[in-house]
Amino acid sequence: MTFVRVCGLGELAEDTPKRVEIAGTPVSVVSTGGEVFAINDICSHANVSLSEGEVEDCQIECWLHGSAFDLRTGKPSGLPATRPVPVYPVKIEGDDVLVSLSQES
């Protein structure tokens, strides 16, 4: 599994998504509850950026229609989204946040 540095830990504000791009794939990186998650940045329902939404209770909410996705699994918690979005493995090395595009789920 190949990991790519996407940012430093200090660049992540708690519960505030940060959009990054890895090999052309948009990814939202989120620090919440002492953990860092990486989830595909495109909502499976409306094709808009999830990083523009809000984070609460380990979920990221799509700003357009309100679908929320679990940051651990990518599964939607309610309508209108019915399909999950990919989540990616995260590794912390010192102050570096690294993400692999290999999907965890």
Q: What is the pLDDT of residues 30-73, one digit of tens each?
A: 999 999 999 999 999 988 999 999 999 999 999 888 899 999 99
Q: What is the pLDDT of residue 7?
A: 98
This prediction's pTM: 0.93
Q: What is the pLDDT of residue 105?
A: 44
Q: Is the pLDDT assigned to residue 94 strictly greater than 70?
A: yes
Single-letter residue type at 45: H
CA pair distance 89, 105, nearest whole angstrom: 9
Average pLDDT along the chain? 94
Tokens coding 10: 């200090």
